[in-house]
Chain A
Amino acid sequence: MASFGRFLLRRTLQGALVVLGVITVLFVLRHVTPGSPVDFIAPLDANQETRRAIAEARGLNEPIYVQYVDYVLSLVQGEFGFAYRSSTAVRPRVFSKLPATLELAGAATIVAVVLSIPLGVLSATRRHEGPDYAATLFSLLGISTPNFWLGVMLVILFGVQFRIFPTSARPVGLIDAAGHLVTVSGGVGFPLDVAGFSDAFATWLRYITLPALTLGTYFTALITRLTRSGMLDQLGRSYVQAARAKGLPETRVRYHHVLRNTLIPIITVVGLQLGTLVGGAVITEQVFNWPGLGSLIIDAINARDWPLIQGSLVVVATGFVVVNIVVDALYARLNPQVMD
């Protein structure tokens, strides 16, 4: 598997280049957008003297390339700087919002994968029958519905009319819930607070259900569609007939042989669509007052708080790049021909 190691190394280097590109684009954007940072930092009644001092302190008087190098170096070292408005450090603010967004995206992905693949397989193998029509209708609706509207409708239906699910906020996170299983000293102690954990977990689940459905529906629909058409394409290939001719059980033909080859192109598409997942998370967080990175980004953009914008977008882009490397590795594992 030496070639796999080389492949991974190459992809990692490419990924680092992409992150550098993202950093550069953000730097350029910051300098072409109207308004001087000093305007945002300084109090409204600040005199020239104070303004100059601020510019000096933030390194805004340096030549542009010096600013660029400083900026890249500090980001590489994990220094995200200080927000304009509150002068708080950016890094802890970004990372404190990260778990909420990751939980939401993760839950939506799980919903999507668990529902869509069996649905797509069912649809393809029972073509032109009831389940196929139902799955096709669902996936057409799913890819055509804006997720924020779906969120609002779910809130009206399940939050306002039937009052089954809470409609906003995130009182506990997964890490808080897991905290019940850990003693104060940090180790796993006895007796474990299982009741506390399951209570907290149930609360978490109740609060994340609607947001996860909102975010996950589009992907469920998309992957169902891709699985269906991919399966139909693969089912017509000769190797399927050959696998049946040797007497393999149909379940194994469908899942081990056909689905495996169907997943190869799907993985690529899903990797590319991860950006849509993050974008969807941003807007879902707005609908459900979910305290994640998305809300932070929107606030930062509205306030033109550049260190905060840069910090959060660099984290988002890095996450995207890392997940794509994982997706590529998975792709290479499933598709042996990619390695040569």
Chain B
Amino acid sequence: MAPFDPRSLYEWLTDRVSPRTRRNLRSELDSSLLAKLGVGILIVVLVSAVFAPLIAPWNPTAQTLDDKQQPPLGFSRAETQVSQEMVDGEVQIVEETEYIDATVAHPLGTDALGQDMLSRVIYGARTSLLVGVLGTVLAMAIGVPIGLISGYYKGRVDDALMRIADVSLAFPSLVLAIALVGLFGQATVNVPDPFVTSGLSEFLRGLVSLPGGLSYPPGMPETFALPGTVILVVGIVNWVWFARVARGEALGVSEEEYVTASKALGGSNRYVIRRHILPNSVTPILVLATIQIAAIILLESSLSFLGFSGANLSWGFDIAAGREYQTTAWWIAAMPGLAIVITVIGVNLVGDWLRDALDPSIEGEGGGV
């Protein structure tokens, strides 16, 4: 394979976006505060996910039982210890309340095993984004061709494919995902972390000195567990949404005169689909893809929460772990959940931005002159 050149990817992408579309995207971004917020959030989450070993203050899996259940900054935790003491010859039960304060070392607190919540939240972004993006790509790869074929050929093919889609819809996606993961097992792939195996993270972390004489503790996880089954399953479960949208677009576009013209000129069906139908369906599919990334991030966290994921560095997994300490250490469940909410808000805002900028049927609300 040729070496990857980011510039060629950028050119490939911009070649496919018309100047008008670029202008619309630009002006919508300029005028909408929410769109800027969404893009900002996504950048932060993306950077956290990619450079987790460089950013996370601690090894997210390092257990320090002495520091367990430390509260996040701004809070303290009361721990009541009950002991029996002899006072004046009588046994008395003495309750001693000790207040545990937050420390700067663990700004979001620690969990029941003394693992740093901030580091776990940063690493959790990897699982969420990887599953969200790869799952969406897979769903798109299955759904879009089916939808295009269904909408282009119409008739029997369409009927058959749409009945299959109906069957797929009749299974709630979470239930189907649980069933598939539960029945086929939770295979995870351990991907080596290039920042750690190359020694880069160790080197860079050594350079940074923190105020107060603290230094970055060394030793980050060398591999990263990619929940393989989950990615496959969320892709399979969500194909039907892409199929529906692609079909709707294909139905509309295939009625257009230029498609008839192209066929009259002897264009093969494959050619017409590739040349006319697909390019005209790109915008709604792109908008749907953003919505699906958000949906799949939520689905992944649900699966992890229910213990059907296999990933142990995942926001949903930590929320499930935090449930057991809901009476004493609320932050264990709260922090990863906030991370999910913020990430999904970011994705949804970007989705709104794309929709408002690209979809002319949603524009033009209200009366004009």
Contact with B along A70-95 (1 / 0, CB 8 A): 00000000000000000000000000
**A148 adjacent to B178 (CB under 8 Å):** no
**B326 adjacent to A156 (CB under 8 Å):** yes
Known: A146-B340, A149-B340, A156-B330. A301 touches B183 (CB 8 A): yes
Report if B113 contacts A (CB, 8 A). no
Report if B105 contacts A (CB, 8 A). no
**A297 adjacent to B175 (CB under 8 Å):** yes
**A144 adjacent to B344 (CB under 8 Å):** yes
Interface residues of B in 315-369 (CB under 8 A from A): 316, 319, 322-323, 326-327, 330, 333-334, 337, 340-341, 344-345, 348-349, 362, 364-367
**B334 adjacent to A153 (CB under 8 Å):** yes
Report if A307 contacts B (CB, 8 A). no
Known: A21-B164, A160-B326, A236-B367. A316 touches B183 (CB 8 A): no
Least Cβ distance of A313 to chain B in Å? Answer: 7
Hey, which chain A residues are within 8 Å of B301, CB to CB?
146, 148-149
Report if A48 contacts B (CB, 8 A). no
Report if B170 contacts A (CB, 8 A). yes
Report if A275 contacts B (CB, 8 A). yes
Hey, which chain A residues are within 8 Å of B169, CB to CB?
272, 275, 320
Known: A146-B301, A148-B305, A309-B179. A275 touches B171 (CB 8 A): yes
Interface residues of B in 159-192 (CB under 8 A from A): 163-164, 166-167, 169-175, 178-179, 182-185
**A149 adjacent to B366 (CB under 8 Å):** no
Report if A18 contacts B (CB, 8 A). yes
Contact with A along B306-317 (1 / 0, CB 8 A): 100000000010
Report if B141 contacts A (CB, 8 A). no
**A275 adjacent to B170 (CB under 8 Å):** yes
Of the candidate stretches A59-67, A112-120, A253-261, A277-285, the one touching chain B is: A277-285
Hey, which chain A residues are within 8 Å of B55, CB to CB?
none
Of the candidate stretches A36-44, A196-204, A227-235, the one touching chain B is: A227-235
Interface residues of A in 223-250 (CB under 8 A from B): 229, 232-233, 235-236, 241
**A143 adjacent to B348 (CB under 8 Å):** yes
**B365 adjacent to A236 (CB under 8 Å):** yes
**B179 adjacent to A29 (CB under 8 Å):** yes
CB nearest neighbor in B for A312: B175
Hey, which chain B residues are within 8 Å of A155, CB to CB?
326
Hey, which chain A residues are within 8 Å of B305, CB to CB?
146, 148-149, 283, 286
**A276 adjacent to B319 (CB under 8 Å):** no
Least Cβ distance of A221 to chain B in Å? Answer: 10
Hey, which chain B residues are within 8 Å of A153, CB to CB?
333-334, 337
Hey, which chain B residues are within 8 Å of A301, CB to CB?
178-179, 182-183
Hey, which chain A residues are within 8 Å of B166, CB to CB?
14, 18, 21
CB nearest neighbor in A for B34: A140
Least Cβ distance of B51 to chain A in Å? Answer: 24
**A149 adjacent to B326 (CB under 8 Å):** no
How far is A263 from B319 in the complex, measured between Cα atoms in Å? 36
How far is A153 from B182 in the complex, measured between Cα atoms in Å? 27
**A275 adjacent to B173 (CB under 8 Å):** yes
Report if A98 contacts B (CB, 8 A). no
**A304 adjacent to B365 (CB under 8 Å):** no
Interface residues of B in 190-231 (CB under 8 A from A): none
Report if B29 contacts A (CB, 8 A). no
**A316 adjacent to B172 (CB under 8 Å):** yes
Report if A321 contacts B (CB, 8 A). yes
How far is A76 from B366 in the complex, measured between Cα atoms in Å? 53
Interface residues of B in 63-99 (CB under 8 A from A): none
Known: A29-B183, A144-B341. A298 touches B170 (CB 8 A): no
Hey, which chain A residues are within 8 Å of B167, CB to CB?
18, 21-22, 25
Report if B45 contacts A (CB, 8 A). no
Report if B251 contacts A (CB, 8 A). no
Report if A152 contacts B (CB, 8 A). yes
Report if A141 contacts B (CB, 8 A). yes
**B337 adjacent to A278 (CB under 8 Å):** no
Report if B234 contacts A (CB, 8 A). no
CB nearest neighbor in A for B323: A152
How far is A233 from B361 in the complex, measured between Cα atoms in Å? 9
Report if A302 contacts B (CB, 8 A). yes
Known: A18-B166, A152-B323, A160-B327. A282 touches B182 (CB 8 A): no
Report if B294 contacts A (CB, 8 A). yes
**B333 adjacent to A152 (CB under 8 Å):** yes
Hey, which chain B residues are within 8 Å of A215, CB to CB?
none
CB nearest neighbor in A for B319: A149
**B178 adjacent to A297 (CB under 8 Å):** yes
Hey, which chain B residues are within 8 Å of A241, CB to CB?
367
**B326 adjacent to A313 (CB under 8 Å):** no
Least Cβ distance of B205 to chain A in Å? Answer: 31
Least Cβ distance of B69 to chain A in Å? Answer: 14
Contact pick for B333, options A156, A235, A278, A282, CB 8 Å: A156
How far is A168 from B76 in the complex, measured between Cα atoms in Å? 27
How far is A316 from B164 in the complex, measured between Cα atoms in Å? 17
CB nearest neighbor in B for A29: B183
**B173 adjacent to A298 (CB under 8 Å):** no
Hey, which chain B residues are within 8 Å of A302, CB to CB?
182
Interface residues of B in 245-276 (CB under 8 A from A): none
**A229 adjacent to B362 (CB under 8 Å):** yes
Hey, which chain B residues are within 8 Å of A102, CB to CB?
none
Contact pick for B163, options A17, A146, A275, A276, CB 8 Å: A17
Closest 5 CB pairs of A and B: A279-B174, A21-B167, A149-B337, A301-B182, A144-B344
Q: A141-B345, A297-B175 are known contacts; what are 8 more A-B pairs with Cβ within 8 Å?
A: A21-B163, A145-B337, A148-B301, A149-B305, A236-B364, A275-B170, A276-B174, A287-B323
Sample (18) of A-B pairs whose CB atoms are under 8 Å apart: A18-B167, A141-B345, A143-B348, A144-B294, A144-B345, A146-B298, A146-B316, A149-B319, A152-B337, A156-B330, A156-B334, A233-B362, A235-B365, A276-B173, A283-B306, A298-B306, A320-B170, A321-B170
